[in-house]
Structure 1
Amino acid sequence: MDTTDRRRSAFTNVRSLRIALQRLERGRDSWALRWQALLAFIDLSILAFFILGPYLRAGPSYLIIDYTIAAWIGVELLARAVAAPSIRIFLKRPMTWIDAVILATLLFPGLLFNFAFLRAMRIWAIGRSPLLREGLRRLGGAHLQDVVRACLNFLVFLFMITGFVYTTFFYGQEGGEGFVDALYFTVATVTTTGFGDITLPGTLGKLTSVVTMIVGISLFVRLAQAVVRPHKVNFPCPQCGLQRHDVDAVHCKACGHLLNIPDEGN
């Protein structure tokens, strides 16, 4: 086999691997959904590890679990880089940089622990994967997709702020008391209850409280809207491109074009 044949064979192998990884990442068949469910479980486990960190960090198993998760995220980043159409597109994805920061916090937990709150962003990725959409459809809950996504966005924000408050203001406390205080403060601030028994000191604390209230209320209102408003289906109009329509829509309300929205029976 000459050099040209070797290059051609290597290119074919890389292309086959890329197609297989793309199928696992974005596919909707049973095998792809099982793989995505496994990834979602691992993401939730990473979040659980962060939450339980105050209880585990004094034990000998903490660094073992930490570096195991780091190895997994490194492999996952490499797989996504191979599956991407190009490195440029891969680098433009926000989750690429978020995972890179998460990987750094796992490799250097003592130095970069203040950025560990970004691990909650991996829950946000679950809401953007085909797993959520296809799973809800198979369970007959496709109409709940917007509600579930709004809940996930709210939970991501809640855990991110809790993590930031904990690592910035309460990390020095023993055991899990600091994390509980951070969670208590975040929930009280987001809900505008404001008991005042726990406050954040200094200018940074005040700014954190302001951002938490503004963004938290906005996400809470978004969640309430998703719960109470009528369900819409996502189906691009061939004529004008309008994405959202009533479930029983026959014509596009923007341009009047005849629609053929598939239902669960199609």
Structure 2
Amino acid sequence: MGKWFDLVLILLIIISVLLVMMESIKEIDVKYHKVLLALEWVITIFFTIEYIARIIAIKKPFKYIFSFYGIVDFISTIPLYLSYIFAGSQVLLAFRVFRMLRIFRILKLVQFIGEASQLKKALKASRTKIAVFIYVVLILSVIMGTVMYLIEGDESGFTSIPRSIYWTIVTLTTVGYGDIAPQTNLGQFIATVIMIMGYGIIAVPTGIVTVEFSKQPKGNGKIAKVNDKFDVHLNTQSCPYCSKEGHRDDASHCYNCGNILNE
């Protein structure tokens, strides 16, 4: 039942995000506004029931309410109600903002991805290395931007050091908008070096996160590894205290908080 509920919830999240996108298309909104609004109310009511049910079901509701997923669930539920509370022509802009907040429902999909926790741990473990890497890139951008400002000058569009740093970052990340381009031979040579460096720079954080990700223990899938054998099934049962999922079928206590699963 928990699995079917999750599947229905995923489908409604995707439909809701598509409804927001279709509302932004004027031709579709003018023609099908009432249908889109009716569907949105159905989905909003479902999310409201789900949010209240989670608060009632868990034994420590405030821990859920102020958690990441609790805040996401609240943001996913409240916008349509707010858009009708703040009525009046002077707050039409706020009305639109509240309605657009529904796009954050796509964040609710994160909790259904088994490897999301592993990726989060990998990013957390590599945050120091990535921070140092970004620091080095920023220093390099400042140095190369200053050099390009001295070489090219105002005639080529490098009107200031900040603007030259902007060009360096755009070039280093291989984006290359083309709004500024070096004209001198020396400037073009330096730009070529920066572009080649950009490909290597992009690969560095990818490698850092990949290494940390490979170190993360597996076991968020349906089968847990016990004694080097994949023979223990994991279910979708949620802990009534901390709402963690993915417990073994033979588990009597939560692996996260240690409380009894079924009292």
TM-score tier by shorter-chain length is 0.3 to 0.5
TM-score normalised by length of structure 1: 0.41
CA radius of gyration, larger in = 2
Using the size of structure 2 for normalisation, the TM-score is 0.41
Bigger relative CO (Cα 8 Å, ≥ 6 apart):
2
